Amino acid sequence: MTVENEQDTGSRNTGEESKDTLQEPVVEANVDRSEKDEAKSDAELSFERLEDDEDEVENEFMQMYEESLKSIQEGEVVSGEIVQIDKEYVLVDIGYKSEGQIRIQEFFDPEGNLTAKVGDKIEVLLERREDDEGVIRLSKEKAAKIKVWDKVKKIYESDETISGQIISRVKGGLSVDIGLQAFLPGSQVDLRPIRDMDSLVGTVHDFKIVKYNKRRGNIVLSRRAILEADRLNLKEDTLKIIEEGSVLKGTVKNITDYGLFIDLGGIDGLVHITDMSWGRVGHPSEMHQAGDEIEVKVLSFDKEKERVSLGIKQLTLDPWSRVEEVYPIGARVSGRIVSLTDYGAFVEVEQGVEGLIHVSEMSWTRKVRHPSQILTVGDAVETIVLNMDVGRKRISLGMKQVEPNPWDVIEEKYPIGTTIEGKIKNITDFGAFIGIDEGIDGLVHISDISWTKRIKHPSEVYKKGQEVQAVVLSIDKENERFSLGIKQLAADPWDEIPIRYKPGTRVTGAITNITDFGLFLELEEGIEGLVHISEVSGDKKGNPLSRFQIDDVIQAKVINVSRQDKKIGLSIRKLEETSEKDSFRSYLNNNKEATSNLGELLREEMMNREQQEEN
């Protein structure tokens, strides 16, 4: 009874937990056993029951295993453990009937080092449960990407940030590695346009996820959104402390031709170029570069427009406040040429303090037309303070005052009437300049070259560099003029002309020039006389000068002499009249007996007219 009960119980259990196909053999076995119970021992019966139980357990285990495999789907991420590593694959136990394979290349880092070891717990993607070869294909990289997409979705929905490394520059922006490749538009890189985006490659930053599309594999990031949020927070803090006169620290954000834009922390301020230094600033980039951290003073602040005017030079004392004490009039100061203009040179005597050397104050002797003739930017110079206007921030300086004025002693060195010798340094239309002393030239005017020669240009008689002698005629110290004469080396021939050429003297000369008003005759070298057209005899109907030619030698009578004007008046007509009178007089003297009363009357009239003309 006991055995049968046990068999019945076992039959019921087997029926409940096993498949239908297994029930019939069990029944037959029970029948066979019941028929042979009497022939079998208790030990044999116990052994048979044990074998039946083992088969039943195995069947149950296989059924449970098959059910568990149904829950793992292709494309699903599961956890596993590395159980073996060979040359091509890493075997991972994911609880399947056999281990899955992952290509070993997925476990090498950028340097080529293997990052996997037996026993590591990893997450993998089940690509295929069994391929044609019955192998389970797994992927660690694809599992990681799926996890990243989950992370991207979570971060996007919660408006959080994700860290990534900029890996390359692409069209329109930058490529960023956040576990997946994402795109960072150029407009979203920074708060202001970045000129050199290549410099950002390799850097790590936090980003906002602007949008993503998993199906297309697109992720768009923004760094600017984070910066704007940070800037807004900083701005609130900065507005609490900013006020006129306050001193703040900031970063040079941008540089323009007219100044520096300073990031004070969420709000920008402008340092105009005129407020950068008390001294001269050619361009703001001469003093600072983008990214420099500097200290500035708030000059003005418009809260409504949020405009801040800043200054750097205001952090120090204005050097002009002590100029009168440091640089009194007459003081000798050193400086550096910082600028040249048509009218002078500006000298920096200290940072923020400049003085002007006018061209007229550069040399006692040289006529400086432009400062560049003797100075260049950067030259170190010695000067004397001549004048100043602190209110207008102007200082007048002089270079020539450093040395004595040579014109102060020139009169003592070269008294009037002194004969000097020097080289002709320059020739002009109006005369020749002769070097006298260093930097001092004397002028021989064209009228002082010769007493008698008519000179149209000094180059007719002299050349540049020629050694000549001259006489000092006058010195104008105030206007710095030194007059010389060459003709004064000899006596003036006109002193004797009135004696040699008295009125009434008959002279002979060659015609040197014929003009509309008369003839010029050369009486001796350099001495000419004029026969006015009214003093030329001839046919009254025609031009009386038409019968003369240049170089003709003729005679004339001196009718007047002016030493002061250096002129001699001649007359051909009066010379001819005199000849006629002399002939007539001779005729009258030879025929006295035959002279009638009428002849006497004519002779007296002629004598009276002759006396009147001589008077």
Domains of the chain: which residue ranges? 2-70, 77-144, 159-227, 242-315, 319-401, 406-489, 493-580
Question: pLDDT band for position 342 (50/70/90)?
Answer: very high
Q: Which of 252-256, 395-399, 408-412 has the highest mean pLDDT?
A: 395-399
How far, in Å, CA of 352 to CA of 319, rounded? 6
Fold for 242-315, please state it. Answer: OB fold (Dihydrolipoamide Acetyltransferase, E2P) (2.40.50)
Average pLDDT (374-403) is: 92
Is the pLDDT at 613 greater than 70? The verdict is no
Q: What pLDDT is recorded for position 367?
A: 81
- CA 461 to mean position of chain CA atoms: 54
Mean per-residue pLDDT of the chain:
81
**406-489 shares the fold of 319-401:** yes
Q: What pLDDT is recorded for position 6?
A: 37
What amino acid is encoded at 358 in this protein? Answer: H
Closest by CA position to 170, among listed 239, 236, 220, 108: 220
Residue 393: which residues within 8 A CB-CB, separation 6 or more? 320
Domain 77-144: what homologous superfamily?
Nucleic acid-binding proteins (2.40.50.140)
CB 353 within 8 A of CB 395: yes
Is the pLDDT at 39 greater than 90? The verdict is no
What amino acid is encoded at 525 in this protein? Answer: E
Is the pLDDT at 19 greater than 50? The verdict is no
Domain 406-489, CATH: 2.40.50.140
Q: For residue 108, what is the DSSP state? A: B
Closest by CA position to 431, among listed 478, 464, 477, 474: 464
Q: What pTM was computed for the model?
A: 0.43
Average pLDDT (200-210) is: 92
Question: pLDDT band for position 49 (50/70/90)?
Answer: low
CB 399 within 8 A of CB 335: no
The highest-level CATH class for domain 493-580 is: mainly beta
Two structure tokens written together for 8? 């019945």
CB 14 within 8 A of CB 22: yes
Fold for 319-401, please state it. Answer: OB fold (Dihydrolipoamide Acetyltransferase, E2P) (2.40.50)
Question: pLDDT band for position 290 (50/70/90)?
Answer: confident
Q: What pLDDT is recorded for position 329?
A: 93
Average pLDDT (498-523) is: 88
Domain 159-227: what homologous superfamily?
Nucleic acid-binding proteins (2.40.50.140)
User: What does DSSP say about strands 89-93 and 100-103: parallel, antiparallel, or unpaired?
Assistant: antiparallel
Is the pLDDT at 4 greater than 80? The verdict is no
171/1: higher pLDDT: 171
